[in-house]
Amino acid sequence: MNQKTIQVEALESEAIYIFREVVAQFEKPVLLFSGGKDSITLVRLAQKAFFPAKIPFPLLHIDTGHNFPETIEFRDRLVKELGVDLIVRDVQDNINSGRVKEETGRYASRNMLQTETLLDAIEEFSFDACVGGARRDEEKARAKERIFSVRDDFGQWDEKNQRPEVFDMLNGRIDLGQNVRVFPISNWTELDVWSYIKKEDIEIPSIYFAHKRKTFLRDGFIWSADDAIVYRDKEEAVLERMVRFRTVGDMSCTAAVLSNAVDIAKVVEEIRDSSISERGARIDDKRSEAAMEKRKQQGYF
Amino acid sequence: MNVLKIATAGSVDDGKSTLIGRLLYDTKSLTDDKLAAIEEKSKQRGFDYLDFSLATDGLVAEREQGITIDVAHIYFSTRKKSFIIADTPGHIEYTRNMVTGASTAQASIVLIDARNGVVEQTYRHFFINNLLRIKEVVIAINKMDLVDFSEEKYNSIKGEIEYLASKSEYKNQQLTFIPMSALQGDNVVQKSNKMDWYGGETLLQHLEKLDAEDIHEFSQVRFPVQTVIRPKTKEYHDFRGYAGKIYGGDFAIGDKIVVLPSQTKSVIKSIHFFNEAFARAKNGSSVTITLEDNVNVSRGDMLVKINEEPTITKQLDATICWMDKEPLKALQKYYIKHGVNDAQAKITQVSSILKTDFSGKIENPSELALNQIGDVQLMLSKPLLIDGYHQNKSNGAFILINPKTNNTVGVGFIR
């Protein structure tokens, strides 16, 4: 006879509760999947929420076309294992059709362009809830985000007029055309996510671990130099360094950090001792103090 | 990892954001890049000190006006504990955001500007802490540097709060008074050398001692069903699991239970968490439960132990904190969300407005306006399975939703 007792830890229990509320309250939910560690963690939590049933919603990947190849390979393998549907929508399509204009210059990035493609996909499939892996500890505008965050037809976030969220009651009532962004790991920190990945032995893309990579330096950041996606001046010398990535965004806006953390245990250790915040290596946040808030108002994740 | 959730409250300019910034700074939780950004912005604005509020005021409008509008959640940990702080706004028009921040908190810090002493907002915040039955309340008497670190000043404020507490009906509250200067760092993380007369702990020492487990006040077990899991695969062809979170106690295989509202009796057959089965699941766990009998259970139903049934009723007496510009009035209809259960509610009577300075009630008001708290009676479209808020926090609270706007317009505490 089984004598084991389970105490689900508070953050995990909360995230599972939120996933179940999503499925109960919405008609067409979707999980926004970037191939990064946060969305991979979400996938594990969704599995846990509905086991032994399959995850009852598809994954949506907005592909900037500038992803690390390791991420895409990983994504396709994971989806196959889980037997869930994957929807991919390409930013490139909107660039080709002229709906959005590609940025140019030294800091050109497709990160901003994702928003338009995401909003198109939401409309195309009539998604009413988009589950994302944003956390409140990432950035100070995100620190203000609710767990159920209502967006209008234009995907806009009305930050000064958010619904009160009391106790664990989540109000998912919306009008036609609106949708809700849902953040089950709102209350997790970067260290919580890494500790969870370690504890659960979750596989993540190899670029999160230290590896040798051709890189160059700019503005104190380390950039990947191994293809044509990241703009580089002739004077910016390429050197092979031992690096890893702390976030897996678009290659054009994600800088690496010097690291010898070749496995998950060493990564957790490194994060614990780290003195640079996670998004410190995200150039899209450095554009201005309010960079994240502005993007969110326009419908960014 | 278990975390301690703390809410902060205080009037405008009492220095909440500064206090949180100070906590982050002194516990080395501000990373180099964030600190550099604060230094640069402080200099830009011509301050000769570090403006820690820049670390937490995340919205453009907040930085422009130098005030906190919405709740920010701030995360930090020491070697002993992890913390989530809800930095809530002090302005009276954002009281609803304060209730939001405090509703999930296990402890609360009420800031008082030592120069001004107890002001209207202090009463209100203290009142809300009582209404929410937050067990651990720290009264942080801040800006002591501006009153020459006066013990006399500290004692007079302490006396005022203690008098207030004597009028509250919630008697289990633990009050801790700490004199401090968040700006200069006295008694936040470092012990002050300017207040020898104070023999107590620093704020951080005190917070590290509080046990997060404490607030899971144990009561009768409630298991509201969120969704039914039916895989319909070959391997799990007949599996029918009830997914939900356990509140108030533990559930174990063999427990005799009643399904409400149908009153069907059954026995717990198995408890699942992901791909494992367990004999027992503890308070606060999100699990999936199966029953011995093939009974009809759907979302909003509740599993409870036999002889521990909650009240089943279509009428509610509740204290409501109103959060909408459009006032609450008798005869108006709203959606009510009680845990994971939904119904419609009609306001049958607004009995009184509670005065948040503990001076009593205004009987038979015509309405409850934004940020007012009052006793209200409601009639429901279907029976809900309720406890009093004082018996079971999660099963004793609800929200009201305006059917026209879909906004959450009020939070209720069942009496």
How far away is chain B from the Cα of A96, in angstroms, using its nearest Cα?
34
Angle at B167 between CA B161 and CA B169, to 5 degrees: 120
pLDDT tier for residue B28 given thresholds of 50, 70 and 90: confident
pLDDT bracket for residue B204 (50, 70, 90): very high
Least confident of B18-32, B40-54, B311-325: B40-54
Rounded to whole angstroms, the Cα distance separating A178 from A122 reads 10
- When pLDDT is cut at 50, 70 and 90, the band that residue B312 belongs to is very high
pLDDT surpassing 70 at residue A301:
no
Structure tokens of A3?
């004598």
Q: Say which residue the tokens 């955001």 belong to.
A: B97
Cβ within 8 Å, pair B3-A167: no
Interface with B, mutate which of A41, A144, A286 (most B CBs under 10 A)? A144
Measured between alpha carbons, how far is B299 from B339 in angstroms, rounded to an integer? 11
Task: List the single residue in A with minimal CA-CA distance to B105.
Answer: A167
- Work out the average pLDDT over A177-185: 94
Q: Which of B84, B280, B406 sits opposite A174 (nearest CB)?
A: B406
Query: Which tens digit of pLDDT belongs to each residue from A126-176?
Result: 999 999 999 988 877 777 788 999 987 777 777 777 888 999 999 999 998
- Residue A5 tokens, joined: 């007792």
Pick the CATH number of B223-305 from 2.40.30.10, 2.40.10.340, 3.40.50.1820, 3.90.380.10: 2.40.30.10
Give bridge partners of residue B137 from the DSSP assignment.
B108, B175
> Does the CB of A6 have a partner CB in chain B at under 8 Å?
yes
Residue B362 pLDDT greater than 70, yes or no: yes
User: What pLDDT, on a 0 to 100 scale, did the predictor assign at position B33?
Assistant: 73
Cα–Cα dist B360/A98, whole Å: 65
Q: How far apart are the C-alpha atoms of A287 and B130, rounded to whole Å?
A: 44
The amino acid present at B351, given as its one-letter code, is S
Are residues B71 and A144, on separate chains, in Cβ contact within 8 Å? yes
Torsion of CA B152, B158, B164, B168, to 10 degrees: -160
Give bridge partners of residue A13 from the DSSP assignment: none
d(CA A43, CA A59): 9
Q: Would an 8 Å CB–CB cutoff place A174 in contact with chain B?
A: yes
Q: In this complex, do A3 and B73 lie within 8 Å of one another by their Cβ atoms?
A: no
Can you spell out the DSSP letters for B8-75? EEE-TTS-HHHHHHHHHHHTT-S-HHHHHHHHHHHHHTT-SS--GGGGT--SHHHHHHTS--S-EEEE
Q: Residue B12: pLDDT above 90?
A: no
Rounded distance between C-alpha atoms, residue B413 and residue B378, angstroms: 12
Q: Tell me the pLDDT of chain B averaged across its residues.
A: 89
Map tokens 């220095």 to a residue. B15
The larger pLDDT score, comparing residue B62 to residue B354, is at B354
Mean pLDDT of B373-380: 97
List Cβ neighbours of A193 (8 Å cut-off, separation of 6 or more). A37, A38, A41, A135, A185
CATH code for residues B3-215: 3.40.50.300
Tell me the residue length of chain A. Answer: 301
User: B interface mutation test: which of A3, A44, A166 has the most B CBs within 10 A?
Assistant: A166
pLDDT for the residue numbered B383: 95
Question: Which residues in chain B touch residue A195, judged by CB atoms under 8 angstroms apart?
Answer: 1
Complete DSSP assignment for B220-236: S-BEEEEEEE---SSTT
Residue ranges of chain B that CATH labels 3.40.50.300: 3-215
pLDDT of B66 higher than 60? no
Q: What is the mean pLDDT of residues B317-326?
A: 95
Q: Do B1 and A195 touch (CB under 8 A)?
A: yes
Q: What pLDDT, on the 0 to 100 scale, is given for residue A16? A: 98
Interface confidence (ipTM) of the complex: 0.91
Report chain A residues whose CB lies below 8 A from the CB of B407.
Answer: 163, 171
| B211: closest CA of chain A, how far (Å) | 14
Q: Where are the domains of chain A?
A: 10-192+290-297, 205-285
Q: What is the DSSP string of B126-175?
A: HHHHHHTT-SEEEEEEE-GGGGTT-HHHHHHHHHHHHHHHHH-S---PEE
A11 interaction partners in chain B (CB closer than 8 Å): 1, 3
Q: A160 vs B70: CB contact, 8 Å cut-off?
A: yes
Please determine, for residue B300, whether its predicted confidence score (pLDDT) is greater than 90. yes
CA distance B223 to B225: 6
With a pLDDT cut of 70, the percent of chain A lying above it is 87
Q: Which amino acid appears at position B82 of this protein?
A: S
pLDDT tens by residue, B225-284: 999 999 988 889 889 999 999 999 999 999 999 999 999 999 999 999 999 999 999 999
Mean pLDDT confidence for A36-47: 96
CB contact under 8 A, B285 and A13: yes
Predicted confidence band at B285 (pLDDT cuts at 50, 70, 90)?
very high
Question: Which of A72-86, B2-16, B53-67 shows the lowest mean pLDDT across its residues?
Answer: B53-67
For residue B414, give Cα distances in angstroms to B159, B308, B310.
31, 18, 12
Cα–Cα distances (Å) from B61 to A110, A137, A141, A298, B125, in that order, read: 28, 20, 11, 17, 24
Helix (H) or strand (E) holding A84: none
B-chain residue closest to A139, CA distance: B58
A78, pLDDT greater than 80? yes
Give the model's pLDDT for residue B91. 66
Contact residues, A window 208-237, toward B, CB-based 8 Å cutoff = none
pLDDT at A279 over 70: no
CA distance B316 to B379: 7
Whether residue B251 contacts residue B268, with contact meaning beta carbons closer than 8 Å, is answered with yes
Examine the pLDDT at A108 and tell me if it is beyond 80: no
pLDDT at A296 over 60: no
Q: Tell me how far apart the alpha carbons of residues A301 and A60 are, in angstroms, rounded to a whole number.
A: 12
Kindly tell me if the per-residue pLDDT of B48 is higher than 70: no
Mean pLDDT of B121-141: 90
Report pLDDT for A284. 53
A164 contacts B58? CB cut-off 8 A: no
Domain at B311-414, CATH homologous superfamily: Translation factors (2.40.30.10)
User: Per CATH, which fold does A10-192+290-297 belong to?
Assistant: Rossmann fold (3.40.50)
Name the minimum distance, in Å, from the CA of B140 to any CA of chain A: 24
Shortest alpha-carbon distance between residue A256 and chain B (Å): 15
Q: Which residues of A touch B340 (CB under 8 A)?
A: 21, 24
Residues of chain A contacting B253 with CB distance shorter than 8 Å: 2
